[in-house]
Amino acid sequence: MADRLGRPLRDLRISVTDRCNFRCTYCMPKEIFGKDHPFLPHASLLTFEEITRIARLFITHGVQKIRLTGGEPLLRKNIEVLIEQLAALRTLEGKPLDLTLTTNGSILARKAKALKAAGLRRVTVSLDGMDDAVFRSMNDVDFPVADVLAGIEAARLAGLGPIKVNMVVKRGTNEQEILPMARHFRGTGVVLRFIEYMDVGATNGWRMDEVLPSSEVIKLLRTELPLVPLDPTAPGETAERWGYADASGRHDPRLGEIGVISSVTRAFCGSCNRARLSTEGRLFLCLFASQGYDLRALLRGEATDEAIASAIGRIWQGRSDRYSELRSTMPAGSTGGARHIEMSYIGG
């Protein structure tokens, strides 16, 4: 099954909560998501059984990978139960799902073993700098770097790998952390990825002049660390891969690799194979979408599996989203006339 631009459906990202214990300025700024912010009531959230049912129906259309997101997904009570249910599913080829989770790492140290035991395969951890003052400022809740690093180590010991660490680079805020992050994770088996600061949502005050292009990130890294380009590992991969080189100029797998995600300066819409399911069961076809499709109404109505699967198929086949490609043709600061959904609601 392909959309209007010939893109297959392979990756489903499921937000399990709209809540987070961080207030990162580029995602959930404190002035918007304060103590009185009206988060979704529990009854509005999809139950674990509803999530598992919808995941199974997406698999019938070719989904092979599921990523749990948030908010902060580890805040969802008994998340291990959901992971166990999803881990029991099989792809059309009869293989286990590539089941992964993105987390800020704040409670990963005490959850890692249980997550692995439930069937989670790997984790991606968000970390925006090694300097404690910079990181505390960016998460805006005074959370220390050391506790996130402890979570990463716990995940490694539990076998939740290969671990990826995502760093959002915001010019004027944390670009000085690029080299320290690379130095820290080089040779550890952790894949560090640098993400361009994106215009997701309407509350982060995004400006193009705060975007540090990935090309500049690579240029900076190569002043100290020899890098060679690597081939993609899978179709639709968002990260451009670079491997650390040895003295002969060839990639040394023992030193590992980094990735850059250039969603602003080098759009990858043409190979995007991802759909996103919000916490309350709305299907979004693009990270920059302004509207979604209500699947919860079908789940809680009398719709059969066949009817829901058919609806998913029709939605995907009608998809033509390519916001990142179109961004360069829009006037500066424009979003094409639409208000984007918040990243904290749809998941990154």
Q: Is the C-alpha dihedral spanning 146, 150, 152, 153 positive or negative?
A: positive
Residue 321 near residue 269, CB atoms below 8 Å: yes
Strands of the sheet with 227-229, listed across from one edge: 227-229, 240-244, 257-261, 191-196, 164-169, 122-126, 98-103, 65-69, 11-15, 274-277, 282-284, 293-294
Q: b/e for 326-339, b at 16 or more Cβ within 10 A?
A: ebeeeeeeeeeeee
Instruction: Express each pLDDT in 195-226 by its tens digit.
Output: 999 776 555 556 788 899 999 999 999 999 99
Instruction: State how far the Cα of 324 lies from the Cα of 341, in Å rounded to an integer.
Output: 15
Instruction: Sketch out the chain's domains with CATH numbers.
Output: 11-346 (3.20.20.70)
In tens digits, the chain (348 residues) has pLDDT values of: 999 999 999 999 999 999 999 999 888 989 989 989 999 999 999 999 999 999 999 999 999 999 999 999 999 999 999 999 999 999 999 999 999 999 999 999 999 999 999 999 999 999 999 999 999 999 999 999 999 999 999 999 999 999 999 999 999 999 999 999 999 999 999 999 999 997 765 555 567 888 999 999 999 999 999 999 999 887 767 889 999 999 999 999 999 999 999 888 887 788 899 999 999 999 999 887 878 999 999 999 989 999 999 999 999 999 998 877 776 665 554 445 555 566 556 665
Instruction: State how far the Cα of 261 lies from the Cα of 61, in Å rounded to an integer.
Output: 27
Instruction: State how far the Cα of 275 lies from the Cα of 316, in Å rounded to an integer.
Output: 9
pTM over 0.85: yes
